Structure 1
Amino acid sequence: MPGSEAVKRTTLRSQIADALREEVIAGRLPAGRQFTVKEIAESYGVSATPVREALLDLCSQGLLDVELHRGYRVREFSYADFIDMVEARTMMLEGMFRHATEQALTAATPPVLASVRRRAEEASRAASAGDLDILIGYDLRFWREFAALVGNPYISDFLDRVRVQCWVFMVPLLRRVADLRGRLWCGHTEMVDALARREAAAVRRIVTGYNTHAMTLIKSLTA
């Protein structure tokens, strides 16, 4: 089949990028960690080409830095970076609901709400239990679907990028806490309920509370 090899390579590139992205978010590839294309290729048992392409994808997402003649390094984010990230995502979400509230509410049809609610319930359950690894996956999926209601892929993609970077900074700090039960934000279902009721003001209020919670928690862990 014409082009089948290109498709396979693209798929492999995506799979490697997704796998490495999860490793970085979970902290298994910690900030400052250096590695080469050869090292990753041997680890996954694949050729260098899709690995190199995958690593460049992660560089474009702001998760890796290229080091001349030395390979790649997992980017290190500071507390100041985190403050800027939260400010950026706050502005995006506020702008999203200020300028596209009606569109988002209209797009929240029963099937769409059912899908977002499933993500919300799993995320809330994991947050309440203090299960960080499960929370991260469902939280990212929840916000990705929530942002998609606006119908602007650029907003969704940029918001997802900022959220991933927030997790990369937060995870090492959160892993120092012996028991996270009761300390993680779990208002996902409350947001879906407000959306289902078409209450834009309530959605904005919950988003503001979420960002305040994140700042307060991280400030306490870095004090």
Structure 2
Amino acid sequence: MPASGPVTRNTLRQQIADALRDEVLAGRLRPGQEFTVKQIADQYGVSATPVREALVDLAAQSLLDSDQHRGFRVREISVADFRGMVEARSLITDGVFRKLAEAGWSGARVDVLMAVRRRAEEAARAARAGDLDIFIGYDLRFWRELGALVDNPHICAFLHQLRLRCWVFSVPHLRGDPGLRDRLWQDHAEVVDAVTRADAEAVRAVIAAYHARMLAWAEDLAKGERLERPQR
């Protein structure tokens, strides 16, 4: 875990949290998988204290569940939970762009839009290549940097955590999906174009279509689960 500057307990804690989050998003730590503080400390060759703090941080972000006697496990997110998170994202995002439109898009800075457009292009390139790991990284960066227009760190942090949890749910279903390239949303650039034009309705329409697509996918997954259940 390379770091710039002296490694303090806080930076080590953050590095471990980031590394474990990446493991979960990559699907190497799977939903329901259990582990202890000692196992993670041994894996990274560090002391138990920053590991415990990192795991508590991830549990607070609802990525892990903790058990006093058994340690930690990767949270298992149901289809219903995923649907609820998407609906929450939709409502909050719609409100955010309404507010931006009412404010006259005064926050739509050119430097932010240029950076966000680069993320959009990289996300589209990863989607065409079917590279899920790279796509997730750029998708998260895209939305986080676009959130700079909102100028409300609390909203941005909450939406980021919702997106992380949505990806934790999605990754196991997408790994090995033969239709992966079609599953990955590639309209990031349309959002940037609409924001650049200060076209609030177009922004909201593109994002609403994105969320509707996610909800339709969730419904397909739910139908599959119902079909797999044994008849009583």
Q: TM-score, normalised by structure 1?
A: 0.93
User: Aligned-pair distance for 1:112?
Assistant: 1.2
User: Aligned-pair distance for 1:133?
Assistant: 0.9
Q: Which runs of 5 or more residues in structure 2 are unaligned?
A: 225-232
Spell out the pairing of 1:100-179 with structure 2 (5 A cutoff).
Answer: 100-103=100-103, 105-179=105-179
Once residues 182 and 122 of structure 2 are traced to their aligned partners in structure 1, the CA distance between those partners, rounded to angstroms, is 16
User: Aligned-pair distance for 1:182?
Assistant: 2.5
Q: Could you report, residue by residue, the CA deviation over 1:75-110 in whole angstroms, capped at 9, with x for unpaired residues?
A: 100000011000110011011112233558222222
Match of 1:88 in 2: 88
Match of 1:72 in 2: 72
Once residues 54 and 212 of structure 2 are traced to their aligned partners in structure 1, the CA distance between those partners, rounded to angstroms, is 34
Amino acid at match of 1:193: D
Q: Which runs of 5 or more residues in structure 1 are unaligned?
A: none
Percent of pairs with identical residues:
58
Spell out the pairing of 1:5-44 with structure 2 (5 A cutoff).
Answer: 8-44=8-44
Once residues 79 and 136 of structure 1 are traced to their aligned partners in structure 2, the CA distance between those partners, rounded to angstroms, is 19
Once residues 104 and 146 of structure 1 are traced to their aligned partners in structure 2, the CA distance between those partners, rounded to angstroms, is 16
Once residues 104 and 133 of structure 1 are traced to their aligned partners in structure 2, the CA distance between those partners, rounded to angstroms, is 36
Once residues 102 and 25 of structure 1 are traced to their aligned partners in structure 2, the CA distance between those partners, rounded to angstroms, is 36
State the SS of the aligned residue for 1:29: coil
Q: CA RMSD in A?
A: 1.7
State the SS of the aligned residue for 2:185: coil
Match of 1:45 in 2: 45
Amino acid at match of 2:18: D
Once residues 91 and 115 of structure 2 are traced to their aligned partners in structure 1, the CA distance between those partners, rounded to angstroms, is 25
Aligned residue pair count: 219
Once residues 68 and 104 of structure 1 are traced to their aligned partners in structure 2, the CA distance between those partners, rounded to angstroms, is 51
Once residues 220 and 157 of structure 2 are traced to their aligned partners in structure 1, the CA distance between those partners, rounded to angstroms, is 30
Match of 1:180 in 2: 180
Amino acid at match of 2:74: V
Once residues 212 and 175 of structure 1 are traced to their aligned partners in structure 2, the CA distance between those partners, rounded to angstroms, is 22
Match of 2:200 in 1: 200
User: Aligned-pair distance for 1:111?
Assistant: 1.2
Once residues 111 and 211 of structure 2 are traced to their aligned partners in structure 1, the CA distance between those partners, rounded to angstroms, is 28
User: Aligned-pair distance for 1:220?
Assistant: 3.0
Q: Could you report, residue by residue, the CA deviation over 1:44-99 in whole angstroms, capped at 9, with x for unpaired residues?
A: 00000110110011011000111121100111000000110001100110111122
Once residues 180 and 75 of structure 1 are traced to their aligned partners in structure 2, the CA distance between those partners, rounded to angstroms, is 23
Contact map agreement 1:103 1:150 (CA 8 A) in 2: no
Match of 1:99 in 2: 99
Once residues 68 and 145 of structure 1 are traced to their aligned partners in structure 2, the CA distance between those partners, rounded to angstroms, is 37
Amino acid at match of 1:174: L
Once residues 200 and 69 of structure 1 are traced to their aligned partners in structure 2, the CA distance between those partners, rounded to angstroms, is 51
User: Aligned-pair distance for 1:183?
Assistant: 2.6
Once residues 190 and 124 of structure 1 are traced to their aligned partners in structure 2, the CA distance between those partners, rounded to angstroms, is 11
Amino acid at match of 1:84: G
Amino acid at match of 2:123: A
